[in-house]
Every structure is written in structure tokens, then in C-alpha cells.
Structure 1
Amino acid sequence: MHKLEALPALRPSASVRPLKDDKLRAPSPLTRIVLSGLVLGYLGLVLLGPLSALLVEIAEIGFGVALSKLVDTTALLALKNSILLLLITMVVNGVVGALGGIVLVRHRFPGRALVSALCDLPLAVSPVMIGLSFLLLIGKGGVLSPLLEAINIKLVFTFWGLVLGTLFVTLPYSIREVSYVLEELGTDEEEAATTLGASPWQTFWKVTLPNIRIALGYGVLMAMARSLGEFGAVLVLGGSISGQTQTATTFIHDSIEERNLDAAYGMSLLLAVFSSGLLFILERLKKRQAKTQKRAHGPSKQTA
């Protein structure tokens, strides 16, 4: 038998140099100050600057004076339209988000990648272009106008035109949030439920929905916030007709054009307060989702 000879000890090549300690050090205090200053300055200029200027103007005329302008019938009707759009967005995106996310992640079908890409289209296309596209489709002289006229349905420059534009621009949010969570969770729990005799409906209610509820709520709230601030699509499809198709955002636009700045300030303040409330809830949901995912991954990591 041949004796195994000891292998020579491996020595690092002369070209390989160990990292020096100074290369691993944290940035110097001056570097941190400069970087922090640039980031905070940018955020202050882009985000806090305009909001601060608005609050200063409202404070000068008085918050009560600004809000009192919203008692006008036109303002109340615009608020009513925005609230109705908000509620419709909540319901539709809740249903479509859950079902759409499950279909895209759990099912395989021809054209799935194309459908998934199309779901992100509203994020890449200008809302004004979306409104124009709908006009060419369902507006007067549009592709579907003969059919709509035959059944006596009018969508453009009505409340339902606002609904179409709003639902289009808010489509991706809940679907994407649910899709991310389903991809991360996998199918182990659902397959286990099926093995134990659960029907597809029982599996959805007992397993899938509890796992996606936080992500679904987060996506729906993002869609609601988006619908609250939508301007371009609802302006083109609704025409911002006073007392009919005005929304809160188009009311602000029209008030500025009419030099009724107090009314514009009042509506802006109301939207800012409501949006801040939505953002607060979103942050709470984000923390809950992070804790849920941490608990879900904890046992698997410990087992590994």
C-alpha cells in the first residue's frame, strides 16, 4: 500500500494582501455629517419644505377660516365623491388584491408573466395618459361608444368615470403586497391543510387569508391613499364638473384657478390630516408584518 504523504501547508500568495484595519473603519465624523446633511437637506427641500409653506399660509389666515370654506355645497360634494371613491377602492382592491395575488403566485397559466407585468402598468404610465386612453375607448366616438349608447350607459364625465380611473391607478398595490407574501410563505401550510382533508375554500379562509391579511390591509391602505390624491385620471375622465364630478383634488385645482385660495388651503389641510392618519396606520401594519415574518422564520432558522 502506498503511504499517504502529508500535503504541504498552503501559503497565501504574495499578491493576496490582508485587509488593513483602516479600510474597515466606519466613515469619519465629517463624512457622516456631510452625508446626513445632504440627505436631510434633500428631504427637507422636497418633502418638508412645501408642506411647511402650506401650513404657514394656513396658519396666517387661521385654521378655522380655512376649514369654514369647506361648508360650501360644492366643497361638500367634492368631499363626498372622494369618500365614495375611497370606499369603492377599499372594497374592490381588497377582493382583487387577494384573488389576483393568489392567481398570479399559486397558479400557472399561459401568459402569466405578461399579466403580472401588466399589473404594474399603472405605476409606469402617466394618469393623464390613462384618462386619455379611457376616453378613446369609452368616450364619445370611442371604440366601445356604439355599444354603450345602445344600452344607454354613459361613463365619461360621470361619477363612474371617476371610479374607472381610480381603480386603474390603484390596481397594483394590493396585488403586489399579497404576491410578495405568498411567494415568501411557500405552499407548505396550504398543502398540509389539503392533505388533512380541507377543501380549497376552507384552505383559503383558515390558512391563506390569515397569512396574507396584514399584507392585504397594507396594500389596500396604500391604494386608498393613492386614490385620495389622484388628480390626472379623474380630471380627464370626470371633467371636474362643479357639483357633479369634482373630487377633493380637482376642487383644490379649481379653487386655485378661481383665486379662492382659502378654500384650496382648507381642502389641502383636510387631505393632509387624512393622509397622515393613513400613513400612521400603514407604519403600524408594516411593523406588525415584520414581527409576523420574524416569528414565521424563527423556528426554521433554529431548526437549521
Structure 2
Amino acid sequence: MFAVEAVGRHLSFTAAAEELGISQPAVSKAVRATEDALGFPLFEREHRGLGLTPKGKAFVGEARALLQQMSDVVQELAGQKEAPVVRACFSSSFVALWMLPRVSDFSGLNPDVALHLEESDSDMVDLDARGVDFSARLGDGKWDDVQSWFLLPERVGAVASPDYVARHPGLADLSVLTQADLIHVDEPKRVRIGWQDWFRALRTKPSIAKVGLTVSDYHSAVDAAVIGQGVALGWEHLVRGKIDQGQLVWIGTHMIETGNGIYLVEPASRQQSEHLSRFRDWLMGQFPDIGVVPEPGS
């Protein structure tokens, strides 16, 4: 069961073997023996690697819950109850730009809870398979596999460093902005609006003059804007910290709402735990100030 749960979480025999401290063939043998005993496969080979079958997903979820219960009992009997853990998985930009500046606040309020943060390159994280308690999704909040809590609407403006704005006057004029050094983001597993969509939403013909810089992670786009490489699209909740620190400024007051919402999600089958409720309530309480129209940056 330990082997099956580890493979289900990592979707890798090699990674599971490294975690458990045994050989990869031993892990494979344990999984095969379990599948033979059950009479159905738990895993299947996919074009991008290993995946869980529907029955495998259900089995791994139950195995994880049973192993956690066993661990709790052993710790209680031994008188060595460990701190409860919150496992959360977000995009690298949300972790770096939003979570990390606030970790000390959560820890100060919850010194008895350990926080484990993971990064994902996709919004549609399979929380049960990955063994995490929380993630975030963009959409309408209607998903069958998770419970969801609305955090804020998706609002996007344009941001640049104060130095870049000083060197390129008039950027608040959208026709001028189309000629600027626009930083593009092309994330393989995450769909977000781009500059063309943003200009169209503002009823401006997107006649972008320069090819500009393209990066594969939004966090890199923010970093590039901070050091003066150009103008990036600014998701309001992610760039607010950089703006408050004076590293970025809004370009004009142009802000669009896409119609999507950003939601905190957790597995639909998850039993409620007091420490998980505390994390959810804390995170949701961080968003009341979002939604303010930005002050002009130029």
C-alpha cells in the first residue's frame, strides 16, 4: 500500500522508489502484486507518462486516507503526535508572488501547523492523485471533482518598472502602448489571455509592432518587467506586492475583467480537518482589498 500510494502521488516508479528508499523493481513488483490481488489495473501508460485508471484513482485515495489514519494512531500511541500538515499546490507565480510573502503571517497565527507548498505547471491539478489539500483554479467554480470557494474575479492590467515608464512617456495611451516592448507568456499547460486579447477587450486594434520577449512562465514575465525589460500583463492579485514595493507601476487605469473567477479548491471527498479549515479561512481572508481600480502609473 505504501508503494501504490507513492507511485500514485508521483506518477513515477523511480520517484516512488527514491522516496521509499527501495529499488525501482521492488516498487514495480509491489504494484503488480497489488493489481493481481485486486483483479484490475491501477495504472496505465499514457503518452506523457504514467497515469491512474479510474479505479486506481479511487484506490489510491482510500489508501492515502488509511495510511494517514494509521500514522495518526501510531503517533498517538507513542505519545509523539506530529504537527498537522497543510499541503497546497499552486502555480509558481502564485507561490512566489503571493504565498511566500504571507507564509510568516500564516505560521505566526498557526504555529502548530506545518505548511508544505508545491508548484504546478497546470491549473487542473488532480488533488487526490497528487496528495494535496488545496490548489487554485480559474473558471466558473463548477467542477465535479473538487469543492470550490470564490476568491476574486480575474482582473488584468498592464505593468512596467518606474524606470521603463520614465524612459517611454505616453504609455497610458493604448496606441502608444501597442508599440512598446511587450512581454509575452506562453505556458504549455496553462491557458491565459495574451496581449492581443487584452487590447481587444479594451476595444483597441491590437496592431502590436514588436515581436518582443516571450517566456514560458508568468513569474519570469513579472521579473523581466521589474528589471525594465518591457511591459507585462499584470494579474492584479499577483503584482499588487510589486506595486506596493514600488518595483512596478500600473500603466494608466486600463483594467479588464475576463468573466472568469479565481477559486480555491480542495478534493470533493476530503474529510474536514480543523487545521485545513484554518488554512482555508486564513487564505480567503487575505482578499478583501482586491478589486480597487489602480492609480495611473504614467
Q: Larger RCO: Structure 1 or Structure 2 (Cα < 8 Å, ≥ 6 residues apart)? A: 1
Q: TM-score, normalised by structure 2?
A: 0.24
Q: Which has the larger radius of gyration?
A: 1
Q: TM-score, normalised by structure 1?
A: 0.23
In terms of fraction of residues, the more strand-rich structure is 2
